[in-house]
Structure 1
């Protein structure tokens, strides 16, 4: 168990960081739409394909984050969480929850997708079982908290400043620079998994969009097709040049000139 000495906020009981008991029943809340898991996997997919995920990281969705407040075990399962460094597990062991400080870093970024029963993502309930906002801000103290509204394609991003979340303003490209991951986060309208909707996407520091696997395949297909067309054009030019040479040789022969001696 690790105890974090921290000034008490709103009479918050002492916070300790304990491993979740093996017999603890994790909350089993179903996702409310088929879009939510797609949004989460799409965020991870582009990071992985860009080579930005290393073994020491923890990137997960609907995964229990734990803290003990007083004598109460608190578990929240954000829709998407990014932890830069965690302790490795023994070979074959599966991580069923994560306790910051005890098992590694605190999450750098948490993203919630607003569901049909909206409101929980903004909850500042300071009493057990604590609202999500309160848990991330006051207990875990996560540097970046983002809330995405899939229906309205709105994204709210907050940064922890002096123990309180302050809303960030999007830049001229309607994106947010997140130094914790070294990328821009923004909204992109398009198609993935046969679904055309608004997606959360990553852009690198040069504003290059981090691509999904299907986009990389399409990019490679276009490159291959472009090379095929270029090779075909070269073949046609060579054939045209050969034809012109033959036509010139024929004209010379018609004039009685021996092309073999020219």
Structure 2
């Protein structure tokens, strides 16, 4: 399915320029308590499995900037990924990102649950611009993910011939995200004492990417198993009148 923007609309004039230092960025609260935790979980799994490199930019509720028809436009998606950005000077805090000026184009954008006029599927082509219109026609983000954890409902759109096309899930209900060479899908369970429908990553072999707390628990269990095996071996040696400490 392709969401159409009216063909007679005039193409916007887009300029990639730095955000002025005195520009006041939006400081709106998140629309849902789960938005930050969903975003953090996605990033945590990538970091825990060594998939985040220094040149990448991954953010949440962070301003993506474009100057459209001489007007600065900023959208702050719930999660986004840029494969290559220019480093900032030591001590400088990056407060926004302008693609093509500061690095590569934004590769993935995700939005979680919204029913406002500027919602995830809005194609409004005039200020304040709908999110789908901005990501599709202005930033031209290759992969756009929308997710409602309460349904739960996951949709993935890929840019094809300048327009977003809704993708079909595989037999496991997951979607291939080529920009990170991973599948994304819904997983119900607990993380940090919160049980919900999480978005999670799987590799191309179908292995779930573990969160850092899951890796820590896996390591704890492994260490416990090693200790138990050592205790059993020590007990058998003592049965043979062999001091296990003497051969350690």
Relative to structure 1, is the Cα distance of residues 118 and 189 closer, same or farther in structure 2, using a 3 angstrom cutoff?
farther
Which one has more relative contact order, counting CA pairs under 8 Å at least 6 apart?
2
2:206: which partner in 1?
Answer: 207
2:31: which partner in 1?
Answer: 32
Deviations 1:191-245 (A, max 9, x none): 11211001111111222211112101110111011112222222333345x28xx
Relative to structure 1, is the Cα distance of residues 118 and 239 closer, same or farther in structure 2, using a 3 angstrom cutoff?
farther
Which aligned runs of 4 or more in structure 1 are off by greater than 3 angstroms?
A: 115-119, 236-240
Q: CA–CA distance in 1 between the matches of 2:172 and 2:180?
A: 18
Q: CA–CA distance in 1 between the matches of 2:123 and 2:34?
A: 26
TM-score of the aligned structures, taking structure 2 as reference length = 0.90
Q: Which structure shows the bigger proportion of residues in helix conformation?
A: 1
Please tell me whether the aligned partners of residues 159 and 168 of structure 1 are also in contact (alpha carbons under 8 angstroms).
Answer: yes
Q: CA–CA distance in 1 between the matches of 2:77 and 2:154?
A: 16
Q: CA–CA distance in 1 between the matches of 2:117 and 2:215?
A: 35
Please tell me whether the aligned partners of residues 66 and 97 of structure 1 are also in contact (alpha carbons under 8 angstroms).
Answer: yes
Q: CA–CA distance in 2 between the matches of 1:119 and 1:169?
A: 25
Please tell me whether the aligned partners of residues 124 and 130 of structure 2 are also in contact (alpha carbons under 8 angstroms).
Answer: yes
2:245: which partner in 1?
Answer: none
C-alpha deviation, 1:115, in angstroms: 3.2
Q: Equivalences for 1:143-222 in 2 at 5 Å?
A: 143-222=142-221
Does 2:102 align with 1:111? no
Deviations 1:138-168 (A, max 9, x none): 1110000000101112100011000011111
Q: CA–CA distance in 1 between the matches of 2:114 and 2:14?
A: 29
Where 1:120 maps in the other structure, the secondary structure is coil
Please tell me whether the aligned partners of residues 9 and 138 of structure 1 are also in contact (alpha carbons under 8 angstroms).
Answer: no
Please tell me whether the aligned partners of residues 142 and 158 of structure 2 are also in contact (alpha carbons under 8 angstroms).
Answer: yes
Q: Which runs of 5+ in 1 are unaligned?
A: 1-7, 244-262
Range moving further from structure 2, 139-148 or 45-54: 45-54
1:59: which partner in 2?
Answer: 58
Q: CA–CA distance in 2 between the matches of 1:200 and 1:108?
A: 18
When Rg is computed on C-alpha atoms for both structures, the one with the higher figure is: 1
RMSD: 1.8
1:48: which partner in 2?
Answer: 47
Q: CA–CA distance in 1 between the matches of 2:12 and 2:191?
A: 45
C-alpha deviation, 1:116, in angstroms: 5.8
Please tell me whether the aligned partners of residues 202 and 208 of structure 2 are also in contact (alpha carbons under 8 angstroms).
Answer: yes
Relative to structure 1, is the Cα distance of residues 116 and 14 closer, same or farther in structure 2, using a 3 angstrom cutoff?
closer
Q: CA–CA distance in 2 between the matches of 1:85 and 1:154?
A: 30
Q: Which runs of 5+ in 2 are unaligned?
A: 1-6, 242-248
